[in-house]
Amino acid sequence: MAGTVEDSGNTAPSSPAGLRGADLALRVLLFAVSLSGLVVLVTAKQTEMVPLVLTPPFRFGPVPAQFKDSPALIYLLVALCMTSLYSLLTAATSVKSMSSSASCAKGIFVLILLDVVYAGIMASATGTAGAVAWVGLKGNSHTRWNKICNIYGKFCRHIGSATCLGLIASIILVLLVVLNAYSLYRRSR
Amino acid sequence: MAGTVEDSGNTAPSSPAGLRGADLALRVLLFAVSLSGLVVLVTAKQTEMVPLVLTPPFRFGPVPAQFKDSPALIYLLVALCMTSLYSLLTAATSVKSMSSSASCAKGIFVLILLDVVYAGIMASATGTAGAVAWVGLKGNSHTRWNKICNIYGKFCRHIGSATCLGLIASIILVLLVVLNAYSLYRRSR
């Protein structure tokens, strides 16, 4: 292991442009993915004629399905909203760091700290929405939770897509942690 | 920023015993928490007399509730199982690293990589189980998913406790990522 770090004056070897470029690209992608997820989730609304009582004589009426009906989907919305804003702010920081010659080790450490917290929030929100989407799709005969996706197909496709986009956002955040940890590792050699 | 790293020969300043001790303590705690969660989840079983049909004349019969009935809880079980095993293995690695004089930067980077992946898995499993537990506790009138915790109280307490332990395990994994990132940061200064 080398006893010196070659970042005094010239930061290129310890934090090359490639790593900083990849960081910026991932943050822009994270913004695109989380914003798309947000739009797909907010537009998840469908009204169908369903029986208003479960016993004969059946009376039918229009019943809307929307993301506000489930706390799990509201949590996904909040997580996607926070991640969109966060990715925008950190992408701006990343651009600023690319334009300046020095990239601070402390800044990278703070980014890892924030990224891992957001990764945790986003992963849990994806799990939460995924669990509700799964019950909606398959139902659960043991608890008598009926499936709803056979009626609200479009609504379920929106929820499923938003959950997938949440999963992609979580993976991007994990990749950002690994990338910045690698950046610190290169500096520490 | 200093141009030299003081870890050639003596690793104490860049990776002090305190940091390595905290890493080991967190891994031991992670093992205890995830194993407890596993035990609490596996023992979640309750049989109650419930109406077998929802329309009169009601016929009652014994219906068991167990974690196997929900894919979300099976996912939590798998995640807790994986995390228990992982924490045990990495605690052993941590002990080995404490007994040897040198702690490798590459090793710390690999640990960050694995910890963040496990944090993501554990957080998503916690979210998944939490969503199902919430529906079980509160029900959802919009989708007509009835609450079950008014009948299966003991079962729900087990699921809630296992979910809380899953959340604690996720937080410990996030702390481990931050701790090891700090260790790399100290080396890179």
Chain A interface disruption, residue of B143, B163, B182, most A CBs within 10 A: B143
Element (H, E) at B39: helix B17-42
Nearest to A75 by CA among B131, B143, B34: B131
B44 — pLDDT class (breaks 50, 70, 90): very high
pLDDT at A103: 64
Cα torsion angle, A73, A75, A78, A81, sign: negative
Check B144 against A142: CB less than 8 A apart.
Answer: no
For residue A140, what is the nearest residue in chain B, using CA coordinates? B70
B40 — pLDDT class (breaks 50, 70, 90): very high
Check A72 against B128: CB less than 8 A apart.
Answer: no
Check A123 against B128: CB less than 8 A apart.
Answer: no
Where do runs of H (alpha helix) occur along B60-188?
Answer: 71-99, 105-138, 153-188
Element (H, E) at B32: helix B17-42
- HEC assignment per residue over A86-136: HHHHHHHHHHHHHHCCCCCHHHHHHHHHHHHHHHHHHHHHHHHHHHHHHHH
Shortest alpha-carbon distance between residue B38 and chain A (Å)? 19
Per residue in B13-23, pLDDT (tens digit) is 445 778 889 99
Predicted ipTM beyond 0.95: no
Cα gap A82→A126, rounded to integer Å: 14
Count contacts between A and B (CB, < 8 Å).
182
Where do runs of H (alpha helix) occur along chain A?
Answer: 17-42, 71-99, 105-138, 153-188
For residue A189, what is the nearest residue in chain B, using CA coordinates? B105
Check B123 against A128: CB less than 8 A apart.
Answer: no
What share of chain B has pLDDT > 70, as a percent? Answer: 89
Give Cα B132 to chain centroid, integer Å. Answer: 17
Per residue in A91-131, pLDDT (tens digit) is 998 888 877 755 688 899 999 999 999 999 999 999 999 99
Element (H, E) at B60: strand B60-66
Nearest to B126 by CA among A36, A13, A130: A130
- Smallest Cβ–Cβ distance between B182 and the set A2, A109, A187 belongs to A109
Question: Exposed e or buried b for every residue in B72-109, given b needs 16+ CB within 10 A?
Answer: bbbbbbebbbebbebbbebbebbeebeeeeebebeebb
What residues have CB less than 8 Å from A30, skipping those under 6 apart?
Answer: A83, A87, A169, A172, A173, A176
Check B14 against A134: CB less than 8 A apart.
Answer: no
Chain B interface disruption, residue of A73, A114, A140, most B CBs within 10 A: A140
Measured CA to CA in angstroms, residue B94 lies from A131, B21, B27, B181 at distances of: 35, 9, 8, 15
Global confidence as pTM: 0.88
Check A7 against B1: CB less than 8 A apart.
Answer: yes
Element (H, E) at B19: helix B17-42
